[in-house]
Amino acid sequence: MTEQDEPACPQAVLIGGYAGTGKTSIARALARQTGWALLDKDTLCGPLVETALAVLSLPPGDRDSDAYRTVVRPAEYRALLDTSLDNVRIGRSVIAVAPFIGEFADEQWLSGTRSAVEASGGWLRIVWVHGDADSMLTYLRRRGAARDRSKLTDWDGYLRHLNLGLVPAAGPYELVDNSLGTGSPATHANALRRRLVSAGS
């Protein structure tokens, strides 16, 4: 990243997408190219989530139970957002990566988060990473994470609950198609970096 690429004020880049879309790979590539802080929800909160699930007598890979969705998940996202805002307040751009499925579909959440970022002295940038069903299945099989086991066990059933045409409920936002054959994460990240820097200059 060159000096002229530095944004006029810090950016909070939230990168979301369904499991297996490759959003984390793109986020990592973008962080390497920009030097901005990278916050991955699973890295930041994973050990605490597994501890909380154990206390609730749930398996460490559970991401589908009511207890996870109502008790654990809100705390994960609160920690991710609060840490992002801490970076913005000290003038550091940050890239936060998580599914953000319910959040990006909620216009009120997007508006409130935008206001919080702006009050902290930064700009909110929303990025939605799309992948087709075959690409998602390939990525999930490759990574072999415990949290994906239930999805892979009943892939067709899992797909029936997804809206593969989903985009954020309110703009502006950036859309990245990371389906197999569309380019590498580094290529997508470079194109995304150029758009973010151009809009933030």
Taking residues 130-151, what's their average pLDDT?
Answer: 90
State residue 70's pLDDT score. Answer: 93
**Which of 76, 81, 94, 104 minimizes the C-alpha distance to 35?**
94
Separation of alpha carbons 100 and 124, rounded Å: 14
Residue partners of 97: CB distance under 8 A and separation at least 6: 14, 15, 16, 23, 24, 27, 38, 39, 40, 41
**Strand residues in the chain grouped as ranges (E):** 11-16, 37-40, 94-97, 123-130, 174-177
State residue 60's pLDDT score. Answer: 87
Separation of alpha carbons 21 and 135, rounded Å: 7
Statement: residue 63 has pLDDT above 90: no
Contact 196, 13 (CB under 8 A): yes
For residue 17, which phi and psi values (nearest 5 degrees)? Answer: 160, 165
pLDDT (tens digit per residue) in 161-180: 899 999 999 889 999 999 99
Q: What is the largest CA-CA distance in the chain?
A: 52
Q: Band the pLDDT of 199: cuts 50, 70, 90.
A: low
Place of tokens 């530095």: 6
Averaged pLDDT of the chain? 91
Bridge partner residues of 128 (DSSP): 16, 175
Statement: residue 2 has pLDDT above 50: no
Taking residues 131-146, what's their average pLDDT?
Answer: 91
For residue 160, which phi and psi values (nearest 5 degrees)? Answer: -65, -20
